[in-house]
């Protein structure tokens, strides 16, 4: 039915153009390059018109249009220089360049219709952090097909690792390894954030393995509930951790949270010689340096994602996702494979959590609640389960909506229609609708991997290998 609608629309479109004197034959006769240029030009024109009519016009809109044209018109992905197919790197390189240069042009961007002004730098930093988390969850849900509803536990673990090793929480100890920007007289563990990030990742991965060992043999829906349970238990331990089991040991400082947490930095020597920021938290362009570091972290995550996907482990994940029995029969070690998926997801969740805690300069138990797990799950689902680009898009878009987008949209709607809606209040309802609509109509997500699309539409043999059937 969708094909028929598209066909009839296409016929109407060409009939209309033919009447004006631009029939289909003339279009088909054009060389490919010119057709691409015309299509790109059309998109640019639509964009400029929309901004002029419904947004806030600035001269930079023309520059944005020019950039869009340059990106879309030529067939960059076919670029070959002296036999090196560098074209396939074009898209990622362009995206990285555009995002890395964001601090320089964000203030001069026009305002687009509906979404209003371009997101702030701080929102972009949070986008990179949630992209890392979504990519981490992608290992579990996207690659291995295990539903994890307690991802927030890993986020919490990472944040508290940063809290333990980069703040004055354990003030009776005094250990300082490369920390930057301490207040005079600071005690406690103060490790350099560059050390804390991998530590947090590894510790969270260990916790992930410990959680996974008894639970990963459960079937899908039970696993979801159990992970949800852990996602609730860990924050509650954080909340009650100021007097752990009545012993008086202050592990997490209870509901007050651990604050302040040190920031990253390269120190004075590197700062002076290589012009790297000495202390992120006192840097004049604080959000920019956090953004660039965040981009580097996301790149590392994407690299690991891509390599693992194409490795033996990745193929084992796909196998158990599609048919556990067949996979086990072919010699794939089920428990070990699932545990690896869980541990990898936990690792990146922990690193992201630690980085976020350092950015916010605090770790509070109220930051970790169930809806965040579903929020990250929605990113993976909306973007495309198992597809790296899809997950990145889903993460960026939903984070933007959460932080700024919904309030901007609300303001725009209220201004245009004179209503008094408080759109951010309905945030999780909107995410719920997104999840339900995507699952009903396009479960493979916006940017799918074709394999996953096939699985979801044709169905898989998803009777788990270990299954206690209840009468």
Partner 1 sequence: MSKKFLVLALVGAAVVVAAVAAGYSGSARSATSVTPLPSSSCGPVVYKGSGKPDFIIASDLPLQGAIRHQTVQISRAVIWELAQKGWKAGSLKIGYQSCDDSTAQTGGWDSAKCATNGRLYAANRSVIAVVGTFNSGCAKIIVPILNRANPGPMLMVSPANTNPGLTKHWDPGEPQKYYPTGVRNYARVVATDDFQGPADAMWSKSLGYKKVYVLNDKQTYGFGVATTYKNAAKKLGIQVVGFKGWDAKQSSYESLANLVKASGAQAVFLGGIVCNNGAKLMQDLRSVAPNVKLQMPDGFSDPLANGAVAQGAYISVAGQPPKSLTGTGATFVKSFGKQIGTEPNPYSQYGAQAMQVVLQAVAAGGGDRAKTNKAVFGLSITGGIIGNFTINATGDTNLTPITIYKQVGKKLVPQKTLIPAANLVG
Partner 2 sequence: MATNVSAHAPLRAKRSASSYVLPTAAALLLGLLLLWLGVNFVKGPAYFFTISFIGLTNGAVYALVALGYTLVYGILELINFAHGDLFMLGGMISATMLITVFGLKAHSSTGALVVALLGSLAVAMVACGLINASIEFVAYRPLRGAPRLAPLITAVGMSFILQNVAIAWKGPSYIAIPNVLPTGNVFSIAGVVYTWEKLIVIIVTLPVLFALLWLVLRTRQGKAMRATAQDRDAAAMMGINVNRTISFTFLIAGGLAGAAGLLYALYFGQVRYDTGFSLGLIAFTAAVLGGIGNLPGAVLGAVSIGFIQAYNDGLTWHAPGSDWTQSIVFAILILILVFRPEGLLGERTPEGA
Binding residues for partner 1, rule: CB under 8 A, are 58-60, 62-64, 66-67, 70, 73-74, 76, 79-81, 101, 104-105, 107-109, 117, 120, 122, 126, 168, 171-172, 181-188, 239-240, 254-257, 259-260, 281-282, 284, 286-287, 359-362, 364, 366-367, 371, 403-404, 407-408, 411, 422, 424-425, 427-428
Kindly state whether residue 402 participates in binding partner 2, applying the rule CB under 8 A: no
Query: DSSP string of 71-132?
Result: HHSS-GGG--BTTB-GGGGHHHHHHHHHHHTHHHHGGG--BBTTTBSPPPHHHHHHHHHHHH
With CB under 5 to 8 Å by kind, the binding choice for 414 among partner 1, partner 2, none is: none
Q: How far is the CB of 350 from partner 2 (least distance, A)?
A: 21
For the window 251-290, what string marks contact with partner 2 as x by the rule CB under 8 A?
----------------------------------------
Residue 373 phi/psi, 5° resolution? Answer: -60, -45
Nearest to partner 1 of 293, 449 (CB atom): 293
Annotate 28-55 with b (16+ C-beta within 10 A) or e (fewer): eeeeeeeeebeebeeebeebbeebeeeb
Q: How far is the CB of 329 from partner 2 (least distance, A)?
A: 11
CA distance 261 to 457: 47
Q: State which of positions 66-125 bind partner 2 (CB under 8 A).
A: none
Nearest to partner 1 of 103, 464 (CB atom): 103
Coil, strand or helix at 458:
helix
Q: Which of 142, 145, 263, 448 binds partner 2 (CB under 8 A)?
A: 145
Q: State which of positions 339-378 bind partner 2 (CB under 8 A).
A: 370-371, 374, 377-378
Kindly state whether residue 329 participates in binding partner 2, applying the rule CB under 8 A: no
With CB under 5 to 8 Å by kind, the binding choice for 436 among partner 1, partner 2, none is: partner 2
Q: How far is the CB of 424 from partner 2 (least distance, A)?
A: 11
Is residue 106 within 8 A of residue 345, CB to CB? The reply is no
Nearest to partner 2 of 149, 316 (CB atom): 149
Token match 């393995």: residue?
209
Q: How many CB atoms lie within 10 A of CB 186?
A: 15
Work out whether strand 174-177 and strand 188-191 pair parallel, antiparallel, or are unpaired. Answer: parallel
Q: State which of positions 236-255 bind partner 2 (CB under 8 A).
A: 236-237, 239-240
Beta bridge partners of 437: none
CA geometry: angle 212, 213, 219, nearest 5 deg: 70
Q: Which of 134, 149, 291, 352 binds partner 2 (CB under 8 A)?
A: 149
Token match 């009545």: residue?
246
Is residue 136 within 8 A of residue 344, CB to CB? The reply is yes
Nearest to partner 1 of 32, 471 (CB atom): 32
Coil, strand or helix at 235:
helix
Q: How far is the CB of 228 from partner 2 (least distance, A)?
A: 7
Determine the straight-line distance between the first and last CA of the chain, rounded to whole angstroms.
42
Residue 171 phi/psi, 5° resolution? Answer: -70, -10
Q: How far is the CB of 78 from partner 1 (least distance, A)?
A: 9
Centroid of chain to Cα 199: 21
Nearest to partner 1 of 73, 316 (CB atom): 73
CA distance 465 to 471: 18
Coil, strand or helix at 191:
strand
Nearest to partner 2 of 51, 141 (CB atom): 141
Nearest to partner 2 of 21, 246 (CB atom): 246
Q: State which of positions 306-325 bind partner 2 (CB under 8 A).
A: 325
CA geometry: angle 199, 200, 203, nearest 5 deg: 85
Kindly state whether residue 419 participates in binding partner 2, applying the rule CB under 8 A: no
* H/E stretch holding 429: helix 427-441
Nearest to partner 2 of 150, 263 (CB atom): 150
Kindly state whether residue 1 participates in binding partner 2, applying the rule CB under 8 A: no
Residue 189 phi/psi, 5° resolution? Answer: -80, 120
Residues that bind partner 2 (CB under 8 A): 145, 147, 149, 214-215, 218-222, 224-226, 228-230, 232-233, 236-237, 239-240, 325, 370-371, 374, 377-378, 381, 425-426, 428-436, 439-440, 443, 455-456, 459-460, 462-471
């Amino acid at each position: 039915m969708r094909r028929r609608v598209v066909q009839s629309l296409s016929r109407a479109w060409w009939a209309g153009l033919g009447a004006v004197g631009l029939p289909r034959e003339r279009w088909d006769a054009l060389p490919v390059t010119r057709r691409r240029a015309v299509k790109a030009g059309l998109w640019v024109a639509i964009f400029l018109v929309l901004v002029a009519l419904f947004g806030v016009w600035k001269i930079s809109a023309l520059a944005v249009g020019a950039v869009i044209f340059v990106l879309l018109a030529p067939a960059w992905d076919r670029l070959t220089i002296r036999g090196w197919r560098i074209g396939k790197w074009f898209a990622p390189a362009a995206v990285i360049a555009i995002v890395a240069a964001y601090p320089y042009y964000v203030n001069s961007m026009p305002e687009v219709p509906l979404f209003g002004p371009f997101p702030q730098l701080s929102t972009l930093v949070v986008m990179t952090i949630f992209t890392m988390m979504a990519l981490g969850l992608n290992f579990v849900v996207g690659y291995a097909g295990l539903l994890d509803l307690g991802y927030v536990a890993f986020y919490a673990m990472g944040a508290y690792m940063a809290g333990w090793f980069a703040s004055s929480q354990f003030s009776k100890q005094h250990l300082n390894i490369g920390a930057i920007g301490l207040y005079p007289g600071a005690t406690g563990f103060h490790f350099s954030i560059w050390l804390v990030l991998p530590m947090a990742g590894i510790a969270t991965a260990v916790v992930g393995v410990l959680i996974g060992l008894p639970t990963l043999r459960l079937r899908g829906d039970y696993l979801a509930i159990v992970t949800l349970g852990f996602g609730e238990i860990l924050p509650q331990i954080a909340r009650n951790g100021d007097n752990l089991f009545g012993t008086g040991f202050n592990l997490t400082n209870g509901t007050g949270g651990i604050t302040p947490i040190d920031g990253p930095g390269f120190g004075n020597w590197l700062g002076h010689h290589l012009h790297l920021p000495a202390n992120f938290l006192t840097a004049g362009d604080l959000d920019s340096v956090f953004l660039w570091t965040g981009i580097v972290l996301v790149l590392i995550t994407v690299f690991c994602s891509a390599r693992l996907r194409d490795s033996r482990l990745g193929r084992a994940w796909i196998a158990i996702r599609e048919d556990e029995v067949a996979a086990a029969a072919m010699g794939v070690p089920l428990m070990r494979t699932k545990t690896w998926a869980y541990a990898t997801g936990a690792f990146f969740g922990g690193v992201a959590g630690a980085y976020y805690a350092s950015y916010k300069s605090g770790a509070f138990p109220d930051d970790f609640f169930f809806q965040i797990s579903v929020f990250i799950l929605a990113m993976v689902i909306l973007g495309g389960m198992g597809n790296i680009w899809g997950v990145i898009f889903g993460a960026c878009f939903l984070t933007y909506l959460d932080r700024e987008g919904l309030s901007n949209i609300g303001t725009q709607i209220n201004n245009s229609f004179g209503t008094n809606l408080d759109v951010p209040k309905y945030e999780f309802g909107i995410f719920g609708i997104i999840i339900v609509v995507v699952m009903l109509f396009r479960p493979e997500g916006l940017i799918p991997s074709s394999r996953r699309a096939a699985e979801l539409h044709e169905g898989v043999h998803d009777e788990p290998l270990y299954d206690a059937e209840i009468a």
